[in-house]
Amino acid sequence: MEQLLTKLKTIEPSKEFQKQSRLLVLSAPQNIVPRWNFLFSQQYKTVFAAALFSVFAVLTGISIVNKSPASQSMASNFDQEKLNAEVKSLDINIQLSQAQYYQDSAEKIEVALNETSDEYDPAGDHQQRLDALLNELIL
Amino acid sequence: MLESEKVYIKKAKSGNQEAFGALYDHYLPSIYRFILLKVSNRAEAEDLSHEVFLSAWKNIPGYKDKGFPFSSWLYQIARNAVIDFYRTSKKNIQIEEAPEEFLKINFTGADTLNLDLETDVLKKCVSLLKPEYQDVVIMRFIEEMPHGEVASVLGKSEGAVRLAQHRAIKELKEIYENEIKKYKYNGTTTHEA
């Protein structure tokens, strides 16, 4: 039976069909393989896997570092209460510099006024009252 | 297997028509035989063979070498084409349900392939086997493919292929002997399932 079956190997397509079909097949356009498909090709599979592993390792490393004591002290720098205190002290500093500015300008204005009225008295009541007010504001 | 097949495949993948032409010339006869023995009609076998190679040419840019010859891929396309053919044309009728006239084998039919009587009977007997046995018989005994390659085409283990081969040959012998007896008796044969 097996030997008899090999006789069927004599079956062949006609030359005319072979010629026509070949011409039609080869004149057809090929399908385009999507560009990202190269990532899954045998050649790039290892590289792609290595890149994925690297990203995973980096992310794991970051999460481990975040759990260490050093990172916790670093994280404490971002403590909300401390930040609020810093902001408040910043506000006081601003008020002080403003007071300094008012004092300087007030002195200059007073000098100018005294010069104008020829009654300039550095130890006068106005000056003393202004000093007292500024001291109140600063302290 | 075609010599320097890998070079041809590489070139064909990048759209080289000459390279695919060489693969076409080498594999067309075996794919055509495979299809013809399953559909038993020359015109349909030609149409399906054309479809197989057209599909192969279109899809070869995405072909991946899995360690088996290129022919395995072509046989897989051919198998699917034949399955689709029977599914769409609804010709896959059960032997038990088929009318007796349908199963008569006419040795002077229009699609005769100038084979001797014995071979012609055998060709028609192969077409009466169930599809899985047809695949095994054609690939193992006509195309002389190794078990591993047949297994890869059919998506089965080598052991399963060996078992199917044994059963297919046994069944084919029975069909063949019956057909020859009937022919000697009245000149035509009828397959009795």
Q: What is the ipTM of this complex?
A: 0.73
Nearest CB to B141: which of A2, A22, A29? A2
Residues B142 and B169 in one domain: yes
In a domain, A48, yes or no: no
Residues B111 and B181 in one domain: yes
In a domain, A43, yes or no: no
Residues B103 and B168 in one domain: yes
3-state secondary structure (DSSP) of residue B157: coil
Interchain pair B122, A4: CB under 8 A: yes
Query: How buried is B16 (Cβ within 10 angstroms: 0-12 exposed, 13-18 middle, 19+ buried)?
Result: middle
pTM for the model: 0.59
Domain residue limits at A117: 81-138
Residues B121 and B187 in one domain: yes
In a domain, A125, yes or no: yes
Nearest CB to A9: which of B46, B116, B142? B142
Q: Following CA atoms A127, A129, A130, A134 in sequence, which dihedral angle do they give, to the nearest 10 degrees?
A: 140
Domain residue limits at B22: 1-92
Scanning every residue of chain B, which has its alpha carbon at the shortest distance from the alpha carbon of A20?
Answer: B50
- Cβ atoms of B124 and B175 closer than 8 Å: no
pLDDT of residue A25: 92
Residues B66 and B131 in one domain: no
Low-confidence ranges of chain A (pLDDT < 70): 34-43, 68-78, 91-92, 94, 118-124, 139
Q: Quick one: three-class SS letters along chain A?
A: CHHHHHHHHHCCCCHHHHHHHHHHHHHCCCCCCCHHHHHHCHHHHHHHHHHHHHHHHHHHHHHHHHHCHHHHHHHHCCCHHHHHHHHHHHHHHHHHHHHHHHHHHHHHHHHHHHHHHCCCCCCCHHHHHHHHHHHHHHC
pLDDT of residue A30: 86
Q: Following CA atoms B7, B10, B14, B19 in sequence, which dihedral angle do they give, to the nearest 10 degrees?
A: 40
Residues B109 and B87 in one domain: no
B31 φ, ψ to 5°? Answer: -70, -40
Instruction: Assess A139–B contact: CB distance below 8 Å, yes or no.
Output: no
- Residues in A closer than 8 angstroms to B36, CB to CB, are 11
Nearest CB to B61: which of A25, A31, A42? A31
Per the structure block, which two tokens stand in for B71? 């022919």
Residues B104 and B190 in one domain: yes
pLDDT of residue B34: 92
Low-confidence ranges of chain B (pLDDT < 50): 95, 99-112, 191-193
Per the structure block, which two tokens stand in for B161? 């292929």
Per the structure block, which two tokens stand in for B193? 């399932």
Domain count of chain A? Answer: 1
pLDDT of residue A16: 92
Count other C-beta atoms under 10 Å from residue A68's C-beta: 10
Q: What is the CATH number of the domain that holds B47?
A: 1.10.1740.10
